[in-house]
Structure 1
Amino acid sequence: VLAEQDSAAAQQYVRQGCPTALRADLWALILNISNQPEDILYYEQLKSNVIQHDLLVDSLIYKDVKLTASNDDYYFVFEDYLYQVLLCFSRDTAVLEHFTYSSATPPKSYIRGKLGMEEYAVFYPPNGVIPFHGFSMYVAPLCFLYHEPSKLYQIFREMYVRFFFRLHSISSHPSGIVSLCLLFETLIQTHLPQLFYHLREIGAQPLRISFKWMVRAFSGYLATDQLLLLWDRILGYNSLEILAVLAAAVFAFRAVNLMEVTSLAAAEAVLADLSTLKVMPLLQIFLFATVT
């Protein structure tokens, strides 16, 4: 597949998961990232923009990395990579193009001294995306695959404009966070009606617990090897719907314990640690064993 450089074949191939040694090249092929000299030059220009101009969002990025990735056993070593990617990302106006197929609108600001004058309105931050708590966790797992900052940056940017932006903007798209929430609740109600009713009765809405997993695409919750297997399927099927299926599968796996809890705090405690879970067996059991 790699010798042929066939993107569609690569997408089909990773649906079954892919060898660790080939994952970086296969993902780059699926996302059409080749890291040409002009791409490297573009990244260097973004870096010089970071050095020349400080932005307020830089503080948000620093704070987010410190609060999330820096405290994570898997990702703390990549702190420097995260800054290199996220600071450049905030200044990349090419990211604005994804708003043409997003229901969100990029925030605007005014040039100093020109407040309220529309002709002096500019997008701020330049990429139109304000980072939120956990945003750096979209980048952190990719650091295991790509060690060259320019390629890491391009892969993340493409992953963001294809998939991740849908996890924090309201839309009717099947991979949008609203549709994922609906799919998750439908799966729980269909396959685990008693559990759903029990959790509702004690004030522990299942979605309150699973929402944070889906918004971060499970990054920071699963072990890294399992997370990359999950993201293989996102790329392979070009859909985020598997996130809702996995969230429901986790509830099914812990259903016996969850039926005994009597409060939201207890339910959250049962589901606090997902780092020991194996993604594919969970999905297979949930999808195929419950149809009987």
Structure 2
Amino acid sequence: MTSHLETAHDSATPESGETPEVPRTPWSRFRRRFRTQRVGLISLGYLIFVVGIAVLAPLLATDSPNAQDLRAVLASPSGEHWLGTDDVGRDVFSRLLYASRTSLLAALLAVAVALGLGLVPGLVAGYARGRIDGIVMRIADALMAFPPLILAVALVGVLGPGLTNAMIAVGIVFSPRFLRILRGAAMSIREETYIEAARGLGCSSVSIIGRHVLPNVLSPLIVQISFAAGTAMLAEASLSFLGLGVQPPDASWGAMLGRSYRFYDRAPWVVLFPGIAIALTVLAFNLLGDALRDSLGREER
């Protein structure tokens, strides 16, 4: 009898004699899954590097970003000007560093506006349904019916050119995306058992949305923020390229492209470096969003 119990016990115990560690909290599960996302880790590291460059730009820059040297117009990369100069003799390396501040600030501002406009209506529409949902979704559908860049240009035309106005316009254009994602998540969560229990206990709708619905929509919201940040940076570059974003002499990667593309045949470096910066940063945001989506999803087993 004893040998039979020992055999059964041995068969149920792992060969190593140790119980495998199973993450019990959402944060520990996220960390375990995100560590396996090599591309996501590289993207996160690159974005941290860009943020560090933006913060330390005054210390890293070799020259003032707006200082002109008309004796060195369109100078090729050298020991004095590491990435060459632009059409009025400004150091491209220094302007590239300072432009990272503008581009990151533009992405942050656009995402903040989009989130501010889409968060509450999306949660309320998804939870309340009915007439409120119908009204909110018709407004969102009307905004999404316009081509995003054309609508942003029209809004900038009304508000006036400038980085802040341009990013407010981009945020308004992006807000229906946040709204629809939050609405869908809220519609799914409102049918959960714990929501029914909260209603049965007499909790108000505002309390249920704030305490139960909002924390459970953070996963898709974080992923959407990552994707939107990259798209907002690309939109800022497009508007600055058209002269509707950052105004001279301030620098952004899009503004640098908009001013220098006319000289790409004579000085390709003035187009190459800001173009690479935009492409890599937008790609990093998108790849990070993919990694977050895979890491924040529900366990399959």
- TM-score with structure 1 setting the length: 0.26
With CA pairs under 8 Å and 6+ residues apart, which has the higher RCO, 1 or 2?
2
- TM-score when scaled to structure 2? 0.26
- Greater radius of gyration (CA): 2
